[in-house]
Amino acid sequence: MLKNQPKITIVTATVEFTHDLITSARTILPLLSESIHWLIVSKHEHIHHGKLVRFDSPYARTVVVNDSGLYDALNKALDLLDSGYIQVVGAGDQLLPEGFRSALSKITEHRDEPVHAFPIHMARTDQIFAPEPELLQNFMSCPHPGMFMDVELIKFHKGFDTRYIISADYDLLSRTVKQSKVNIRSDVTLPVVRFKGGGLSDIRGNEALLENALIGIRVWDKSFREALRSK
């Protein structure tokens, strides 16, 4: 563990036990420590072959919540946290140890910065998605699984807006950056997560574009035409 390393909570939201969760657990559990915790929020108890699933770590816990969807579940996870940084990792995504440790070093070195962004590896295309904070006004240019955000700052901005089905992460990051006038610190490191993909933003791409346009209008003060021209 790095000296003066801030607390980081990795949050995963699930509906029920899946093999994707096991895939994530294999890469997350070895990295947990007194300052790195894993919080799983699930709509149901994790039952496998008739037995309750518990991960063998004092730094991992599962909380059953009655949520209306992904972003509501993440808000309920935020309610359980009081400080440090949050990283959202989906079931099926995998932490990449070398990149994750490099990110921890950068966060510890610059712990006064409330928002950090790091690259991720896109499993479906075998490409690296590197953050580009300067393009945030146009689209979600910082990949969500590579984001580490200050918990207190997110709570100040009321968490995820559940009116958005797909792009609430983009909305939250945009509101945080614009309203609090914070910079997104982006250090060049190895990717921190292998992102499985195949989620709502991939399946319902047109809806994601429309939600992004709304965020452009509501948060970035764009005209309707400008917002539709954004990526």
**How is 163-222 classified by DSSP, letter by letter?**
T-SS-HHHHHHHHHHHHHT---EE---S-SEEE---SHHHHTHHHHHHHHHHHHHHTT--
**pLDDT, one tens digit for every residue, the chain (231 residues):** 677 899 999 999 998 778 899 999 999 999 999 999 999 999 877 656 555 667 879 999 999 899 889 999 999 999 999 999 999 999 999 999 999 999 999 999 999 999 999 999 999 999 999 999 999 999 999 999 999 999 999 999 999 999 999 999 999 999 999 999 999 999 878 999 999 987 666 657 789 989 999 999 999 999 978 887 775
| pLDDT (0 to 100) of residue 51 | 57
| pLDDT (0 to 100) of residue 2 | 72
Q: Look up residue 79 and give its two tokens.
A: 């309610």
| pLDDT (0 to 100) of residue 229 | 76
| pLDDT (0 to 100) of residue 45 | 77
Give the separation between CA 155 and CA 106, rounded to whole angstroms: 23
| pLDDT (0 to 100) of residue 203 | 58
For the chain, the domains span 8-158+181-199
Strand 8-14 vs strand 85-88: parallel, antiparallel, or unpaired? parallel
| pLDDT (0 to 100) of residue 211 | 94
Residue of 54, 59, 214, 84 whose CA lies nearest to 155: 84
Residue of 154, 162, 131 whose CA lies nearest to 144: 131
Domain 8-158+181-199 has CATH 3.90.550.10: yes
| pLDDT (0 to 100) of residue 231 | 59
Q: Which residue is associated with the tokens 């970035």?
A: 220
Q: Look up residue 159 and give its two tokens.
A: 């968490």
